[in-house]
């Protein structure tokens, strides 16, 4: 990709990871990020700051492509864990099932995750039939987004704040490639308008615990289909969740839902609350829209012609990560780089 000028649309975890990898792995290219939202912004239209976030693969047994994205990302986070200012740390993950499904079989990542094992009966919380544990990764979203942003700019990457109505608006006379990391907006963005993209609203409560109090996360599947989880961050915050509401675009906080989340979390793991602390200290409430897509994440290239500049432009899409944007971020960005190189070489 020598001497190419690349514009990345989007500064969420997908755009920042792809833009940073481009500069780290390719020689003599220029990368420019254009986005409405950047790290530090808190908006319902910008999903990345609202994530938990931890690595807990959603890839099913037959989803080999998704497994590879998640595998690469697990290994990457494992390597950079505890790097200063990254917000990435290794944790003990506990997955609980209130009722063990009859068709349960071990997840694909049994052979990937360090120290994977089934939980013993005496290790299960009250009301839980079955559980597993393994070493996983927690990512503090705002710290990690800033870490990516700072790495990107220190490598010479440039940025511009703009709200675009069409993908073509990224293209300047010297643009060769556009990477589309527009998240949920891929549904409405001109030139993309992907009707397979839909939101899954997620509401959370962010509480403050003493720093280093918690180095474990849990994710519980309730018998009624709901999920309850708690994910620690390196600064002592813990994200309590959650909801998964398909096609719900509301970014308003529902305080009854928040109360129910807190209740479910404390009922599952009363030790979330330090012994000398009578109640949780709530820092904020969160609502984010997971950028889901029928058929899964789109990592794909296509050519377009810029009428304005009379030239062909390569478009590389990397959007539609749903609830897996962090845990697949490195793998999907690597895949985007690979397919861009392949098409340019051919
Ligand atoms: P976004 O973060 O939304 O970024 C999109 C970017 O594109 C923004 O910069 C935006 O400004 C820009 N943009 C879009 N359209 C335009 C336009 N027209 N003009 C200019 N700029 C534009 N994932 C995990 O892996 N692990 C978890 O534990 C986890 N937990 C989650 C919990 C919750 C409650 C939620 C809501 C999500 C969770 N996720 C988790 C999912 C994860 O947050 C998302 O998959 C990820 O953040 C998507 O990132 P993105 O960069 O694709 O999109």
The per-residue pLDDT for range 79-110, each reduced to its tens digit, is: 999 999 999 999 999 999 999 989 999 999 99
pTM assigned to the model: 0.97
* Residue numbering of the annotated binding site: 47-48, 229, 290, 323
Average pLDDT over the chain, rounded to an integer = 97
CA of 307 to the centre of ligand 1 (A): 31
Residue ranges per structural domain of the chain? 5-345
CA of 289 to the centre of ligand 1 (A): 8
pLDDT of 337 above 90: yes
Q: Probe ligand 1: pick from 12, 201, 297, max atoms within 8 Å of CB? A: 12
* Residue numbering of the annotated binding site for D-dopa: 229, 290, 323
Fold for the domain defined by 5-345: D-Amino Acid Oxidase; Chain A, domain 2 (3.30.9)
Residues framing ligand 1 (Cβ under 6 A): 9-15, 35-37, 46-48, 50-54, 162-164, 181-185, 189, 202, 204, 241-242, 288, 290-291, 319, 321-327
Torsion on CA atoms 322, 54, 68, 292, rounded to nearest 10: 0
Q: What is the C-alpha to C-alpha distance for residues 319 and 13, in angstroms, rounded to an integer?
A: 10
ipTM reported for the complex, 2 dp = 0.99
Nearby residues of 213 by Cβ (< 8 Å), 6 or more positions away: 232, 236, 274
CA of 124 to the centre of ligand 1 (A): 33
pLDDT of 212 above 90: no
Q: Probe ligand 1: pick from 39, 53, 162, 243, max atoms within 8 Å of CB? A: 53
Q: What is the C-alpha to C-alpha distance for residues 100 and 136, in angstroms, rounded to an integer?
A: 22
pLDDT of 185 above 90: yes
Grade residue 253 by pLDDT with cuts at 50, 70 and 90: very high
Instruction: Based on DSSP, count helices (H) and strands (E) in the chain, helices before strands.
Output: 5, 15
Phi, psi of 312 (to 5 degrees): -85, 140
pLDDT of 346 above 90: no
């Amino acid at each position: 990709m020598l001497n190419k000028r690349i514009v990345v649309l989007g500064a969420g975890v997908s755009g920042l990871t792809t833009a940073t990898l481009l500069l780290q792995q390719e020689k003599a290219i220029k990368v420019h990020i254009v986005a409405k939202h950047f790290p530090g912004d808190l908006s319902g239209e910008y999903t990345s700051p609202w994530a938990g976030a931890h690595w807990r693969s959603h890839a099913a047994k037959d989803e080999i492509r998704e497994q590879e994205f998640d595998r690469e990302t697990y290994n990457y986070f494992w390597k950079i864990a505890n790097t200063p200012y990254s917000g990435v740390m290794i944790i003990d993950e506990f997955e609980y099932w209130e009722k063990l499904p009859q068709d349960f079989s071990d997840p694909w990542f049994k052979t990937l995750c360090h120290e994977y094992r089934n939980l013993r009966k005496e290790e299960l919380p009250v009301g839980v039939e079955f559980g597993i544990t393994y070493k996983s990764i927690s990512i503090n979203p705002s710290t990690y987004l800033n870490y990516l942003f700072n790495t990107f700019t220190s490598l010479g990457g440039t940025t511009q704040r703009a709200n675009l109505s069409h993908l073509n608006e990224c293209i300047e006379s010297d643009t060769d490639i556009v990477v589309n990391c527009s998240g949920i907006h891929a549904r409405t963005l001109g030139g993309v308008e992907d009707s397979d993209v839909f939101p899954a609203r997620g509401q959370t409560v962010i509480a403050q615990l003493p720093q280093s109090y918690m180095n474990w996360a849990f994710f519980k599947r309730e018998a009624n289909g709901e999920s309850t989880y708690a994910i620690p961050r390196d600064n002592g915050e813990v994200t309590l969740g959650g909801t998964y509401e398909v096609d719900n675009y509301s970014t308003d906080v529902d305080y009854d839902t928040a109360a129910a989340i807190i209740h479910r979390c404390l009922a599952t793991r009363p030790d979330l609350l330090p012994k000398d602390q009578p109640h949780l200290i709530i820092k904020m409430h969160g609502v984010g829209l997971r950028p889901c897509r029928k058929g899964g994440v789109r990592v794909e290239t296509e050519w377009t012609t810029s009428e304005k500049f009379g030239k062909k432009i390569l478009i590389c899409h990397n959007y539609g990560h749903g609830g897996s944007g962090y845990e697949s971020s490195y793998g999907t960005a690597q895949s985007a780089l690979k397919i861009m190189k392949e098409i340019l070489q051919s």
